[in-house]
A = this chain, B = another copy of it.
């Protein structure tokens, strides 16, 4: 928006813009995970669309079956200045500023207004929906007459006539007054959900007595008082709200809570503290790009306030709780686009979100049954029951317009696999076995049963096919063997088998019960295996190119550039039928599949396939006006492909979609999937986070200008903080190096469930040793060399500071030491060389006595046991050191600082070592003393043994204080123990 100013946490609107009324109402939405309230004005405005949506409060409506009912409006606060009602379409607006503070969830507005009769007054409104107590809402209004003394009247109401674009879902049951204020009791007309709201008002700074009016459905507290020029009167309105979804007598609950909550300031404080806690975990700090910095926080704010904190039977609608678009229906958007943010920063909310699909399984079963299938078929659009609520028709209100059949409910079926994918990934990331046992497994298995009934066997080609679908790309409405769908189904069935095995192995009773309930037989399992083996995937191994669906490559091609500039989708320009016949797609489809398979590098994902398909599909994707689900995904893939500038442009397209109303439909509500995609684009794209067995690893490609990127992730019960900064570009290579990340030493890790997966056979063929800190103590020499350099440069440095350098590359170490100090690249090069010189000098004195206790014995034992050994050291002096130590001949391979380009925590060095030993990663054990080394081992899919304190190497499979007295037999036992723990937890 043209009048927006973005600062760290605050969105400022500097001018009243009635033309953008509805999109601004969306943008200024506040909420607390229980409800969302659009940023409509307290005093109202003609054609405004005020709305408060409470999670789960659905009610019937024609055509789209059910929708989130706009709840009674708690906002009305009318100010009558000397007889003139304050309203922005009358009188004169002398000053105007609206602020949304996303750090604390506070919306405020400061105005100077001259009434039609010439009275000037300063008015400041403020509101919040308490994150500390989701049933509490607060409003405050400061009133300061500037040039008059006179009567002011305040009317504070609850409006029991809210509407969903005209439709009022509520029956007025009753209203009244209590000792402290007013209350309203309403009920949705069909679903019969009751809501109780209570409100009170206090006025300070003047003498005023309250009057109560209880007009049906519109209880109002009013007060008239005398206000003096330049004296401020403060009006505080507190509102409480409950529904019958959470309590039997919501109106009583609202009254009682209101009676006990009395102090606006205290409530505001509690809200701020609650927000502090949230942002401590979920914030992303970006430096060097204030627009992106705010925009990312804004997007996170909008999904945070949409995620229920206490309810497992609701989920996040496509337009969050901020608008009427899609009627509060829930799509795959939530699981695929929004859920990852919650999994990694607010896993308790993630649990609620995935549980929604479990609790609505019966609706999915009814859908499957309606269409003649078995198991559970997830609704394309889902609401309170999980039944299919996608409208059948788009009905134009033009008398003679054509009705357009919406086929998604019938044909866009890939979401049954997408939800399984999300469930699996939630489990992988959280290790929440209990939930998987009780809820997740049923979701994955019953949807798998659906697939088995949905695929068709084509005897002519001896293959399974899935015909008559819509893929992720919705421009093609009736296609066969959509690769996205087929491969997701295959993946889903693979995982279903694993989950069933896991359940049988670990929870045989529950497994038996569930298999009985779902009629899951061994024949079914065999059928799944057959489908996995024979499901047709349109993949050309010679080129890596994937055909989106049967015949896509035969469609007429189109050059999207020919249609620029444009303000609408290609479908809107050419019509539904035309785009059906063209090679133009609404959103990533093949590329979406590659994105989903990227994290696990599962088939068909690899770099070559990505490049080939990017080159083909990206230019054919209507990325600007097609689907808002596209840009963030394209941003990540572009980033992977080193197209950082393009990635940034795509990323901003997603990040600004609502703040700048890029698609012209922000009035319908926040683009929730895009907001979730923004988080993924930052974390998986620019930070390049890879989720390795025991910790996430960064592989960043920061956009130009970003000087810092900092965030936290929780992975399998542990918090990981990433604080990434760019280095100047090395002249020889365009890839960048980073100062790396540190693991939070005091991060809470109350529970560390081992990674769940089907028990592998432990088959160790080789051990790769880090050098420094494992076999010898060269770490001490490094420290001494850095200390000497630091002293010469006058930079404070000591042993404690040195701890942070463990396992960190030379350049990165230097950067950590110099911190904010400015050095030229030449100076940096010189310092690196100087430090190395000191170090090389120091290690000239090394001998076999410098071997750490237990090292030589272990090396000898391994040799006897036929276990291969290698050295995997980041040091360029490794070979020298090994020779001085006298063990260069005892190992089968030596990899050092010259061996690979990417230093630890990238797994390259260890992978290279395993390759040289001729063994698989999973046959390798890495011995490491540094967190980055453990990272690298896990990232490489190897077994990791950490030497040193748990705080440092706790991510490893086995942690030992040192090698002293450790035998190969000990190590094998520890590893086997670790495996058992993993699979029994």
Which residues of chain A have a CB within 8 Å of any CB of chain B? 44, 46-47, 60-63, 65, 76, 78, 85, 155, 157, 159, 161, 163, 166-169, 171-173, 176, 189, 211, 213-218, 220, 222, 366-367, 370, 387-389, 392-393, 395, 397, 399-400, 403
Contact = CB atoms under 8 A, between A and B. Distances in A.
Contacts of A76: 215-216
Contacts of A173: 46
Contact of A399 (B62, B63, B387, B399): B387
Contact of A216 (B47, B159, B167, B399): B159
A655 B213 CA distance: 45
Given A217-B161, A397-B62, A168 B168 contact: yes
Contacts of A44: 172, 216
28 contacts: A44-B172, A44-B216, A47-B171, A61-B166, A62-B62, A62-B397, A63-B63, A65-B397, A76-B215, A76-B216, A78-B216, A155-B213, A159-B216, A166-B167, A166-B169, A168-B168, A213-B213, A213-B215, A213-B220, A215-B218, A218-B218, A367-B399, A367-B400, A370-B400, A387-B400, A388-B400, A393-B393, A393-B403
Nearest to A44: B216
A406 to B, nearest CB: 12
Question: What are the 3 A-B residue pairs with the smallest beta carbon separation, nearest first?
Answer: A161-B161, A370-B400, A387-B399
A715 to B, nearest CB: 39
A366 B399 contact: yes
A161 B170 CA distance: 11
A560 B728 CA distance: 91
A161 B176 CA distance: 19
Given A168-B167, A213-B222, A220-B213, A65 B161 contact: no
A46 B76 CA distance: 24
Nearest to A90: B174
A168 B392 CA distance: 24
A163 B216 CA distance: 14
Contacts of A168: 161, 163, 166-168
Contacts of A214: 85, 155
Nearest to A169: B166
Given A166-B167, A168-B167, A403-B392, A60 B397 contact: yes
Contact of A395 (B159, B215, B220, B392): B392
A159 B176 CA distance: 17
A399 B362 CA distance: 13
A189 B49 CA distance: 12
Contacts of A213: 155, 213, 215, 220, 222
A395 B63 contact: yes
A60 B166 CA distance: 10
A213 B189 CA distance: 28
A436 to B, nearest CB: 29
A388 B399 contact: yes
Nearest to A175: B85
Contacts of A395: 62-63, 392-393
A90 to B, nearest CB: 9
B393 A155 contact: no
Given A60-B397, A76-B216, A161-B161, A46 B222 contact: no
A65 B399 contact: yes
Contacts of A218: 161, 215, 217-218
Contacts of A400: 366-367, 370, 387-388
Contacts of A65: 397, 399
Contacts of A60: 397
A161 B161 CA distance: 6
A666 B62 CA distance: 22
A397 to B, nearest CB: 6
Nearest to A220: B215
A173 B85 CA distance: 12
Contacts of A217: 159, 161, 218
A389 B157 CA distance: 39
B46 A171 contact: yes
A388 B400 CA distance: 8
A52 B176 CA distance: 27
B172 A189 contact: no
Nearest to A219: B215
Given A166-B169, A173-B46, A399-B388, A215 B393 contact: no
A76 B217 CA distance: 12
Contact of A62 (B63, B211, B222, B367): B63
Contacts of A166: 61, 167-169, 189
A155 B215 contact: yes
A366 to B, nearest CB: 7
A215 B73 CA distance: 13
A368 to B, nearest CB: 11
Given A213-B215, A218-B218, 17 more contacts: A46-B171, A46-B172, A47-B189, A62-B397, A76-B215, A76-B216, A85-B176, A155-B215, A159-B217, A161-B217, A166-B167, A167-B168, A366-B399, A367-B399, A370-B399, A388-B400, A393-B393
Contacts of A167: 166-168
